[in-house]
Every structure is written in C-alpha cells, then in structure tokens.
Amino acid sequence: MRIGDLAARAGVSVRSLRYYEEQGLLVSTRSPGGQRQYTDKEIGRVRFIQRLYAAGLASRTIAELLPCVDSPTAQNADAAWTQLQQERDRITQHIEELTQARDALDQLIAINREHRSRLAAR
C-alpha cells in the first residue's frame, strides 16, 4: 500500500510516517517510480509507535524498544522492561516536579488574592 493509504488506515498523517522513517522506526520499500510501499503489518507497527509516543516516550527510546517487537527474545524483553521502567521513573519524577511547581503557583495565587483583598479594603 502507498503512504497515504497507510496513513489513513493507521490514523496518522503522512508527515508522521515520513518522520518515523527518518527516525528508523518504520521501513518501506520503494516502487519503480520511487513511491514508498508498505504492507498491512505496518498498520499495527504505526499504531504501536503511536501508543509509545502517547506514553511520553521519545523517538530514540522507541527505537531502542523496537528490537523487542522485531526480534522477540528473553534478552530483548528484559531490555525493553528495563527501559520502560526507567521511562516510568523519569515521568514520575517529572510529575513530582510539576506538582511542586503547581503548589508554588497556588501559594503565589493565594498571596496575590490576599494582597488584592487588603488593597480593596483601603
């Protein structure tokens, strides 16, 4: 199938598919006319890549995880598990930092409200 067909069937843009190829996440063959050609199995791969992006993973991390999909072995599964745990820990840390930032903003908002109340009472 051609790139537009894959994009439609996988629910992504053609631009995304080109980016996935640039990042080494997706591979196509070329027709004699130079057009990208894909098989039906790439639909599942693109959807999987989308789930990984939705989970907050970067292209480089996704590329490191794909051997587990392409060549499933116990070693690849263990490596993927370790990588996913590290990514989860990274996201958890980021959530904690964002929570602290939100709490600091809440304090500033409360101080501002109190200050405005005092000004209005004058």
Which pLDDT tens digits describe the chain residue by residue (122 residues)? 999 999 999 999 999 999 999 999 999 999 888 889 999 999 999 999 999 999 989 999 999 888 888 888 888 888 889 989 999 999 999 999 999 999 999 999 999 999 998 888 88
- pLDDT at position 119 is 87
Q: Can you give the length of the chain in residues?
A: 122
- pLDDT at position 41 is 92
- pLDDT at position 75 is 87
- pLDDT at position 5 is 95
Place of tokens 């200050």: 115
Distance of alpha carbon 56 from alpha carbon 17, whole angstroms: 18
Place of tokens 């992504």: 12
- pLDDT at position 88 is 93
Distance of alpha carbon 65 from alpha carbon 83, whole angstroms: 8
By the 8 A CB rule, do 26 and 6 touch?
A: no
